[in-house]
Amino acid sequence: MEVRYRITRPYPLEAAFELGRFTALLGPSGAGKTTLIRALAGLVPGRGTPYGGLPAERRPVGYLPQNLALFPHLNAWQNVAFPLAHLPPGERKERALALLGRFGLSEKADRRPAELSGGEARRVALARALAREPELILLDEPTAGLDRPNRSQVLRAILAALSSGNVRALVATHDPELAQAADRVVVLERGKVLQEGPSDRVFNHPASPRVAQLLGYENRFSGRVVQREGELALLATEAGRLYAKTELPVGTRVGIFLRPEEVLIVREGRPLSPVDAQNTLVGRLRCVRRMGPVVEAEFQGRIELLLRLPRHVEDRLGLATGEIRRVVLKPRYLQLFSEEEDSFSSE
Amino acid sequence: MTEVLLRSLALAAASSAVLLLVAAPLAYLSRRPYPGRTLVETLLLLPLALPPTVLGFYLLLLLAPEGPVARLLGFELAFSFPGMVLGAALFSFPFAYTAYREAFRALDPALLETARTLGAGPGRRLREVVLPLVWPGLLSGTLLAFAHALGEFGVVLMVGGNIPGRTQVASTYIYELVARLELEKAHQASLTVLVLALALVYLTRSLEERWRSATGSPGPTR
């Protein structure tokens, strides 16, 4: 299924991309994610496919706005039954209760929205959006503002909804966990699609420095290609000589991007391959922060790097502020962009 | 006394019913800007700033036996009950309109949009979403207009003329009693009106409270 939309108001936006079963719409605030979702729902004037020209009432979509818009005067099952007006009353209630049951909300069927928790309210709204068996559900930040258990519960509910039936989902989100569960990703900025494709591909091969930045490649330094060695190239960088995977010709000035999660700390006493040995930096851990299941550290060597690792890995390494450590920058995790591209898009 | 009080109540009921039918739809439309909205609202809210006698005076000129309304439309409203209803409705308009506008403004537009995506046309949206959520606001606005019309004096005196048995209402009746120095009777009538007004305003306030809790933020943003 292909989406091709052009919107002029309230913001100019042009988007064309392939819709997978579960497509994540990523981008900074103000990129136009909500506008695109609303245009697909028929609430913002837009031209294109699918559903162009159909009034909102007749589009086969389920829409979940950021504030959920549960009807405050109706209880949970009445909210879910609202879109089932074409059925006889008895059947409406039965269907609504069955849907609530699927989302583990049977006991909350008689509660008003104000009496539900944030996660429960979202699941009720999701059940309501699915009640008419839409072709496409449009979810605007479905996990924003939720705590971790509620977030994963909502994510599981979305995945469960997608695994049964023929519904697809387009989800605007900032939540990396949610985005990585998607099979396709669309990166939007200032009303334009910067990159779209299968999520592995987009996350591991961002098309531009800007996309890399938006997808969490928080470390950046520069260098120049000095020598080619097969599929690898040797770079002279601010951090020293490093190998990287690139096709760029010798002499190209490059910006190098790296995720904090993909800076590896060397466990002393382990042998390193020659390439990894070349890509090793020595430096001091300036600051080690434990943030629940994640540990962040600032590394100060010839360059500064941000490191992020799961706590169970850190448990084995035993990091402490002020320590001298070696880190490896694996060639395949280094994303290179020729400097012209870099300066062009970071203006 | 009873007859005068009943006429007062009838006047208040009729004028607040007129307001519900006219001011509520106008307030609903004013949720979104339209060309000339400021001008329209200025005219509608003008009675707030006008002395009732001025409003009554112009109404009287308009509605007089030889006035433009009589000549063009063929009916005389001056010194009649319908004329008083018109005057009281105009004078209470700002109060009702403001209350209705607030009631509609408190309605989250996302509810109506989402209702559309759930297949509800304009009729169902009005019946099943708008009215259930705004009725306490509409009712409290109407009660306020009712209470205001019950206490109206200037416009009613100008347009109605305080004719005993025809256009005399509680407020003008009390005025006349005081002018005739029948203070005992004036006291009785005033006390009755006071109690009635107190009950009405209390009812309005309780409805507003209830309405606020009904439209309070639903779940997700807690």
Tell me if chain A has a CB within 8 Å of the CB of B108: yes
CB contact under 8 A, B114 and A58: no
| Local confidence band at A333 (pLDDT 50, 70, 90 cut-offs) | very high
Beta bridge partners of residue B194, listed in sequence order: none
Domain boundary among A165, A183, A211: A211
The shortest C-alpha distance from B102 to chain A (Å) reads 18
Share of chain B residues as helix, strand and coil, in percent rounded to the nearest 5: 75, 0, 25
- Decide if pLDDT at B200 tops 70: yes
Q: How confident is the model over B35-80, as pLDDT tens digits?
A: 888 898 898 889 989 998 899 999 989 888 888 888 888 778 888 9
Bridging pattern class, strands A61-64 and A136-140? parallel
Question: A229 and A177 in one domain?
Answer: no
Q: Are strands A240-245 and A232-237 parallel, antiparallel or unpaired?
A: antiparallel
The size of the A-B interface in CB pairs under 8 A is 91
Q: Please answer whether residues B49 and B42 qualify as being in contact, where contact means their C-beta atoms are separated by less than 8 angstroms.
A: no
Q: State how beta strands A240-245 and A304-310 pair.
A: unpaired
Q: Which chain A residues are closer than 8 Å to B119 by Cβ?
A: 57-58, 83, 85-86, 132
Contacts of B214 in chain A (CB under 8 A): 72-73
Q: Quote the pLDDT of residue A346.
A: 43
Kindly tell me if the per-residue pLDDT of B218 is higher than 80. Answer: no
Please say whether the beta carbons of A21 and A162 come within 8 A. yes
**Strand partners of residue A30:** none
Q: In which domain, by residue range, is A44 found?
A: 2-211
Q: Could you tell me which residue, B64 or A282, shows the higher pLDDT? A: A282
B132 CB near a chain A CB, below 8 Å? yes
Give the SS3 label for residue A281.
strand
Q: Where are the domains of chain B?
A: 2-214
Q: Give which of A54, A71, A108, A150 to mutate to test B binding, by max B Cβ within 10 Å.
A: A71
**Residues pairing with A255 in the sheet:** A222, A337
Instruction: Determine the Cα–Cα distance for residues A166 and A185; give it in Å rounded to an integer.
Output: 19
CA distance A41 to A48: 12
Q: Pick from B117, B133, B218: which is nearest to A41 by CB?
A: B117
The H or E element spanning position A241 is: strand A240-245
Q: How many CB atoms lie within 10 A of CB B37?
A: 12
Average pLDDT over residues A271-286: 92
Backbone φ/ψ region at A30: left (φ over 0), alpha (ψ -120 to 50), beta: left
Q: Which helix (H) or strand (E) holds A305?
A: strand A304-310
**Domain tally for chain A?**
2
Q: Which residue has the tokens 């006390």?
A: B191
> Is pLDDT larger for residue B222 or for residue B197?
B197
Which residues of chain B are within 8 Å of residue A71 when distances are taken between CB atoms? 111, 115, 129
Q: Shortest Cα distance from A67 to chain B (angstroms)? A: 6
Distance CA A15, CA B76 (A): 64
Q: Which letter does DSSP use for residue A6 in this model?
A: E
- Check A67 against B113: CB less than 8 A apart: no
Closest-CA distance of chain A to residue B138, Å: 16
Cβ neighbours of B108 in A, within 8 Å:
67, 69
pLDDT of residue B212 exceeding 90, the answer is no
In chain B, what residues touch A79 (CB-CB under 8 Å)? Answer: none
Q: What are the pLDDT digits (tens) for A192-214?
A: 999 999 999 999 899 999 999 88
Instruction: Spell out the residues 6+ positions from residue B11 whose beta carbon is closer than 8 angstroms to its own.
Output: B81, B84, B85, B88, B149, B150, B152, B156, B169
Q: Which residue of B has its CA nearest to A69?
A: B111
| Domain final residue pick, A148, A181, A211 | A211
- The answer to whether residues A223 and A238 touch, using CB atoms and an 8 Å cutoff, is yes
Chain segment A142-178, per-residue pLDDT in tens:
888 888 788 888 888 888 888 877 899 999 988 877 8
Cβ–Cβ of A72/B116 closer than 8 Å?
no
- As a whole number of angstroms, the distance between CA B179 and CA A288 comes to 88
Q: Of the candidates A153, A180, A211, which is a domain's last residue?
A: A211
Average pLDDT across chain A, whole number? 90
- Determine whether the interchain pair B120/A72 forms a contact, defined as Cβ–Cβ distance below 8 Å: no
Q: Are residues A163 and A296 in the same domain?
A: no
Task: Please tell me the distance from the alpha carbon of residue B198 to that of residue A31, in angstroms, as a whole number.
Answer: 55
Same domain, yes or no: A193 and A282:
no
Residue A23: CATH number of its domain: 3.40.50.300
| DSSP secondary structure of A165-233 | SS-EEEEE---HHHHHH-SEEEEEETTEEEEEEEHHHHHHS-SSHHHHHHTT--EEEEEEEEEEETTEE
Q: Which CATH number fits domain B2-214: 1.10.10.10, 1.10.3720.10, 3.40.50.2300, 3.40.640.10?
A: 1.10.3720.10
Do residue B216 and residue A62 have CB atoms under 8 angstroms apart? no
Torsion angle, CA of A6/A8/A12/A16, rounded to 10 degrees? 0
* Alpha-carbon gap: A130 to the closest alpha carbon of chain B (Å): 10
Number of neighbouring beta carbons within 10 Å of residue A10? 11
Is the domain of A14 the same as that of A119?
yes
Angle at B20 between CA B16 and CA B26, to 5 degrees: 130
Asked if A207 and A219 sit in the same domain, the reply is no
Q: Are residues A134 and A223 in the same domain?
A: no
What is the percent of chain A with per-residue pLDDT over 70, rounded to a whole number?
A: 98
N residues, chain B: 222
Helix/strand number for chain A, H first, E second: 11, 19
Rounded to a whole number of angstroms, the CA Rg of chain A reads: 24
| Cis preceding linkage at B68, omega within 30 | no
Cα B117 to Cα A131: distance, rounded to the nearest angstrom: 12
By the CB < 8 Å criterion, does B216 face chain A? yes
Answer for the pair A313, A264: CB distance below 8 angstroms, yes or no: no
DSSP 3-state of A310: strand
Which pLDDT does position A178 carry in this prediction? 84
State whether residue B106 sits within 8 Å of chain A by CB: no
Find the range with the poorest average confidence among A59-68, A148-157, A278-287.
Answer: A148-157
Domain of residue A241, CATH code: 2.40.50.100
B71 at the A interface (CB within 8 A)? no
Q: At a CB cut-off of 8 Å and minimum separation 6, what does A195 contact? A: A185, A186, A187, A202, A206, A207, A208, A211
| Chain B residues with CB-CB distance to A132 below 8 A | 118-119
Query: How far apart are alpha carbons B221 and A70 in whole angstroms?
Result: 12
